[in-house]
């Protein structure tokens, strides 16, 4: 387990919402425009910090898919991200799509510092079928051309924690937050703060955005950590450890949130127990169902035996002669 860095009890974080040129599955058709939007909104925040209109953040969080141009392979993308980090004078957690040597991809969050470049990263571990990858692609291609629109993402590994600006941050990308295990490893590793970078442009104007935010609020309470939600098109939010939304953005507009949030090293009972209560409840449910089933069978067997005994003791036709007494 990595030891959490000794810091003050609060840090200042920023969540950038650059927005996208279009919604739906074609949100990334203009990948450079999406990256430019997030760079531009970060530069606006840097101007506000310089002018004293906003506090200087210790770390900045960009959404999932903020750079679908692989910044480890594309010098222009790397230069733009470094310029944004230099302007805001803080490391940025950059949501990026990275291309592997075998042409598969990873949905990654990279710690990017203007001075040192790319550092630690979280590769999304819980990838979504029929979206980020398609099982039996050749089979489904027989029925729909949409089969080839699914991604070729592969899952990552690791504990889901990255360190940026001396802050240990647990990362769950997009709907990883729906899974109990997503933050558990990072909390065990010492995460002091939680981040949910997400691309909600694919959800359009639906309730899925708000559903995901509700999940982030649950995770805040479960682990006793502040949660920073950074979304491409909204809703971005600052959630306190009690699950309350302290700040949020509207949908489909560029925006930025800056807030002072607590960093914690203590572990809640829910984090400590992990999956144990679920296993106990499942075992209890199975045991209860088994008990009811066995008891029901015994009662049926007893009733059948009593019926058989009563029938054997009665004379044919149900008449009693003197000899029967």
Active site residue 32: no
DSSP state of 234: S
Tell me how far apart the alpha carbons of residues 259 and 263 are, in angstroms, rounded to a whole number: 12
Told to judge if 132 belongs to the known catalytic residues of this protein, a careful annotator would answer no
HSE-CB for 87 with a 13 A CA cutoff? 18
* CB within 8 Å of 294: residues ≥ 6 apart: none
Q: At residue 210, what are phi and psi to the nearest 5 degrees? A: -75, -30
> How far is 221 from 214, CA to CA, in rounded Å?
11
Of the candidates 64, 132, 176, 222, the residue annotated as catalytic is 64
Residue 124 bears catalytic tag: yes
Q: Residues of 188-213 as b/e, b for ≥16 C-beta within 10 angstroms? A: bbbbbbbbbbbbbbbbeeeeebeebb
User: For the residues of 146-160, what is the DSSP string, one character each?
Assistant: GGGGS--B----S-S
Given 125, 132, 174, 176, the catalytic residue:
174
Q: Which of 124, 132, 176, 222 is catalytic?
A: 124
| Active site members | 64, 124, 174
């Amino acid at each position: 387990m990595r030891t959490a860095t000794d810091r003050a009890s609060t840090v200042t974080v920023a969540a950038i919402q650059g927005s996208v040129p279009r919604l739906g599955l074609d949100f990334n058709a203009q990948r450079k425009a999406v990256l430019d939007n997030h760079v531009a909104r970060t530069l606006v925040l840097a101007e506000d910090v310089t002018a004293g209109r906003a506090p200087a953040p210790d770390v900045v969080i960009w959404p999932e898919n903020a750079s679908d141009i692989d910044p480890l392979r594309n010098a222009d993308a790397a230069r733009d991200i470094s310029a944004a980090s230099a302007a805001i004078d803080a490391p940025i957690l950059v949501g990026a799509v990275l291309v592997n040597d075998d042409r598969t991809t990873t949905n990654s969050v990279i710690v990017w510092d203007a001075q040192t470049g790319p550092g630690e990263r979280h590769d999304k571990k819980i990838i979504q079928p029929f979206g980020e990858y398609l099982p039996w692609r050749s089979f489904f291609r027989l029925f729909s051309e949409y089969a080839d629109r699914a991604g070729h993402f592969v899952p990552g590994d690791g504990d889901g924690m990255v360190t940026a600006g001396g802050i240990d941050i647990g990362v769950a990308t997009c709907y990883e937050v729906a899974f109990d295990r997503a933050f558990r490893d990072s909390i065990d590793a010492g995460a002091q703060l939680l981040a949910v970078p997400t691309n909600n442009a694919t959800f359009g104007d639906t309730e899925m955005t708000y559903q995901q935010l509700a999940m982030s609020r649950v995770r805040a309470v479960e682990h006793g950590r502040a949660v920073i939600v950074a979304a491409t098109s909204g809703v971005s939010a600052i959630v306190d450890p009690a699950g309350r939304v302290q700040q949020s953005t509207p949908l489909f507009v560029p925006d930025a949130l800056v807030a002072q949030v607590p960093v914690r090293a203590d572990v809640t009972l829910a984090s400590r127990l992990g999956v144990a209560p679920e296993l106990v409840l499942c075992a209890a449910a199975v045991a209860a169902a088994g008990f009811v089933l066995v008891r029901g069978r015994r009662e049926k067997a007893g009733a059948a035996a009593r019926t058989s005994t009563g029938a054997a003791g009665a004379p044919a036709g149900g008449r009693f002669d003197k000899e029967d007494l």
